[in-house]
Amino acid sequence: MIDIVFLHLPTIYNKPIIPNELKKSISELEKFGNVHNYFFKFSYYKNKFNLTDFEFENVSDDIHDTYKNLNKYLLIAVNHSCPFALHYSTIYPEKCLGVICYPFRFYSKESYDRRIWKLKDNNGWQMMIKNSKYTFDDYLLNVTEERFSELFSDPNDDEKTIIWLNMDLSLQRQYYKIPKIMKVYTVLYTRFDLDVPSIIEHNYNRRDVAKMKQIINENDALYNSMIWNFDRVKYDAILKKENEGNMNLKIKYLVSGWEDDNDLVDEVILFMNKNRIKNIEKNYIVKLDTFEDGLKYMNQNIGKDCKWIYDLIDGKGDRNRVLYENKNFVLVTEMSMKSDDMRTFHPLAFPKDKSIRSIRDLTSDHIPLLREMVYVSKKFIKDNYELNESEIEAHFHYPPGVLLLHMHFEMINNNAKVRRPLREHSVHKVIENLLIDNDYYKKITLDIIEKK
């Protein structure tokens, strides 16, 4: 399970909520991590924010302070929130597992200049703002905190639009703060505007917009859109070149109107798999373990982390953790298992014979006990958790974390679990090996992983 901080689009006009088009994706993401929804201070005009709240540095600090109790987290950003996420990953890379921008909104000196051209030189301001007391220079280009605060006293359509334009222009103006060299793993989804009906509707049929952009016909609207598509690709080429040596950047493309709700979820799954492999490669090594090595480890760690399970076997301790018990073994919940969250599903079965510390102590004499533990436990799970036996797998860990033999029961379809194959030994395979040789695990040399 990872923490995911989701930066939502600042709307200004309406109270910030999770958009309907994102609810399904966020619900799916919650299967893989804890989703924290972040709304900017300037998401809603009634918050009465300041111009400085638009500054990338202040937003980065606010995100950092808001989630200071989290260790590290994955940032997901949509549209206008993307530059803030990228800036944050540069200022606080130690807190950032990675960044996913969907879709990535890119800003440049050219886009800033064009925004000024549309609003000032081409009279876009006059088309949008009806109250003549609000001038482009005084309330946008050279706005002060005092004049900006006036907009919140009794805001109508003009005032709300000016507040939004200030946010938009501030984003455009800070184009140079958006990093080109990524310090953490970053996925940018560049969106191509190729949806012909939508381009015509938004850029030509809306006559005020067409006039502001000097678009004279439908083909002109399509041509202008294609120019910006080429500019996006040119910008992507710059980013790729800047990040050739660090392997931190991946750019993907999507077409407007053809977005897939599963893109974000699929990307998080890919990220988690990549991150797990990276962590295993970084934190663990593979080595050979003989019976003598295992015996030495057991003798050096007698009773390691066993008190809690000894207490349960002896009828003491936190009895709420006991799921099932008979004279031979006890089935309990793993420490992080929660009854209302199947992503944490993880029962453990312990024999009551405390002399069986690991698979190294097993002989063929233990096969009836092992078969009882796996059969009875799976039946209990089937009856109480509505899972078929074919959906559950049972294994031992070696070396074990708790020095009393125990079976792990987990769902094979649980993507939230980190699996380490060299440490996991199928119960059925263990039984099969003991049928081949009574002392199989006293003779075999095992590949194991251990922390560096």
H or E segment to which residue 101 belongs: strand 96-104
What length is written for the chain?
452
pLDDT single digits (tens) 320-379: 999 999 999 999 999 888 887 888 899 999 999 999 999 999 999 999 999 999 999 999
Q: Is 330 helix (H, G, I), strand (E, B) or coil?
A: strand
- Residue linked to tokens 């201070």: 41
Q: Kindly give the confidence (pLDDT) of every residue in the chain, 452 residues in length, as a single tens digit, with 9 standing for 90 and above.
A: 789 999 998 888 888 889 888 898 999 898 888 999 999 999 888 888 999 999 999 999 999 999 999 999 999 999 899 999 999 999 999 999 999 999 888 888 998 998 999 999 988 999 999 999 999 999 999 999 999 999 999 899 999 999 999 999 999 999 999 999 999 999 999 988 888 888 888 888 887 777 878 888 989 888 888 888 888 899 999 999 999 988 899 999 988 877 777 888 888 888 887 765 555 455 678 899 999 999 998 888 887 778 999 999 999 988 999 999 999 999 999 988 888 788 889 999 999 999 999 999 999 999 999 999 999 999 999 999 888 888 999 999 999 989 999 999 999 887 556 667 788 999 999 999 999 999 999 999 999 988 77
- Listed in sequence order, the residues at least 6 apart from 420 whose beta carbon sits closer than 8 Å to its beta carbon are 280, 284, 449
pLDDT value of residue 282: 56
Confirm if 13 and 45 have CB atoms less than 8 A apart: yes
Query: What is the predicted pLDDT for the residue at 77?
Result: 95
Of 110, 54, 114, the residue nearest 84 (C-alpha): 54
CATH 3.30.428.10 residue window(s) in the chain:
290-451
Residue-level pLDDT at 416: 56
pLDDT score of 278:
57
pLDDT value of residue 228: 80
Q: What is the CATH number of domain 290-451?
A: 3.30.428.10
Burial of 231: CB neighbours in 10 Å, binned 0-12, 13-18, 19+: middle
CATH of 2-281, one of 1.10.3470, 3.40.50, 3.40.720, 2.40.50: 3.40.50
Nearest to 86 by CA among 98, 72, 95, 94: 98
Q: How far from the centroid of its chain's Cα atoms is residue 104's Cα? A: 17
Please give, one letter per residue, the 3-state secondary structure of 363-422.
Answer: CHHHHHHHHHHHHHHHHHHHHHHCCCHHHEEEEEECCCCCCCCCEEEEECCCCCCCCCHH
Per-residue pLDDT tens over the stretch 38-60? 999 998 888 889 999 999 999 99
Compute how many other C-beta atoms are within 10 angstroms of the C-beta atom of residue 40: 24
pLDDT of residue 415: 59
Please name the residue that has the structure tokens 């002109």.
Answer: 220
Scanning the structure block, which residue is given the tokens 């799976």?
A: 378
Domain with CATH 3.40.50 in the chain: 2-281
Give the whole-angstrom CA distance, residue 444 versus residue 423. 15
pTM > 0.75: no
